[in-house]
Structures are given as C-alpha cells and as structure tokens.
Amino acid sequence: MRIAVVTVVMVMCATVAHADVRPQRDFNLQKFAGKWYRVGLAYDSPKFVPYRDKLKASVGIITVLPNGNANLTMWDATPAGCRIKVYQYEKTNVAGQFTYFSTRHNMVKDITVVSTNYTDYALVIKHKVFHREYTQVALYGRSHTVRNSVIQRFRAFALSKGFSSDSILTPPPAENCPPSASGH
C-alpha cells in the first residue's frame, strides 16, 4: 500500500516536471502566422552529430487553418538539396501547444511555443514522445538575425533543459532554399 502511494506521488511529480514548460501566455496563432527562419537549433541526437557544422537555417511558413489548426511548410537545405515538408499542427486545449503526426517516426509528437513576441523571435520546444523527453529546442526569427540577447536566452533555455553546449547551434542562412524562383 505504501509503495502504491509512493508510485502515485512519483507519477504526479513527473507530470508537474513537464508542466514547467508553459506556452507563451495569451498565445495568438494569427500573430504567429507567416514566415520564420530557424536561426537556432538545440538537437542532441547522436546521429545528427556529423551534420552539425553543415546545418543551415531552415525556413518555415505558418498558415492558420479555419479550424484553429496550423500548417507549417518547412524548407530544409539537406545534402540532397532543398527539401520541402508540410507539418500539420493540431491545436490542443492549451493555446500555444500543438500535436502533429511525425511520418518519420510514425508517432504523435507535441510542440510548445514557449515564448514569442511575434515580431522578432519564437522559442519552440519539441518532444520526442508525447509529453516526454525533449528532443529539440528551436529558435525562430522573423529575419536571419535576431538580437544577441535573444540568442543568449535560447542558449540558457536549452542548457536548462539538459542540452550540451555542443548541441546548441546557430546555423547560417541557407542558399537558395527555398529557391528564390518560388517567390518566398
């Protein structure tokens, strides 16, 4: 009986620990829409280590759907060329938190917009498994450069979530990705 109680308390603590990642207060999806550059990425997957110095800033466009969900169209400069991908973010009952189905990992993941001021930057955290284990922290900017103080906040946040400083990257802009001919 006593063990059961301890287990319950531990599960509750784990839930509370997750709850420290709160979304931006009064998150406004309409204001969040539009073009973003992923100017910072904290990603500690061992498989990604060889690509760290080749990473370029991806470009994303958030489109708000009438039902309150959002599409993220993302252009990634990869060794195989510029790749476009659409992520379908489904709203949850918490503004600023979304779920999406990762076709690559075949599972539902969730992302939280931790902090944004809409006109300059956004700090976004992504979980590996629904509600658990952070895999990525991304810093988005409305332009290729964000203020140094914002970069420092991104670094401090990623470090506080357990990312090593080696895994915290601020990639340079991608060349011709999205291709300039596409009009973006």
Closest contact distance (angstroms) between CB of 64 and ligand NAG is 8
Of residues 43 and 89, the one with the C-beta less far from ligand NAG = 89
Closest contact distance (angstroms) between CB of 142 and ligand NAG is 9
Of residues 55 and 70, the one with the C-beta less far from ligand NAG = 70
Closest contact distance (angstroms) between CB of 147 and ligand NAG is 5
Of residues 67 and 93, the one with the C-beta less far from ligand NAG = 67
Of residues 2 and 149, the one with the C-beta less far from ligand NAG = 149
Closest contact distance (angstroms) between CB of 59 and ligand NAG is 16
Of residues 120 and 166, the one with the C-beta less far from ligand NAG = 120
Helix H, strand E, coil C: the string for the chain is: CHHHHHHHHHHHHHHHHHCCCCCCCCCCHHHHCEEEEEEEEEECCHHHHHHHHHCCECEEEEEECCCCCEEEEEEEEECCEEEEEEEEEEECCCCCEEEEEECCCCEEEEEEEEEECCCCEEEEEEEEECCEEEEEEEEEECCCCCCHHHHHHHHHHHHHCCCCHHHEECCCECCCCCCHHHCC
Residues that bind ligand NAG (CB under 6 A): 63, 65, 71, 86, 88, 117, 119-120, 147, 150
C-alpha closest to that of 125 among 4, 14, 6, 18: 18
Closest contact distance (angstroms) between CB of 117 and ligand NAG is 4
CA distance readout (Å), 133 to 10, 83, 164: 16, 27, 15
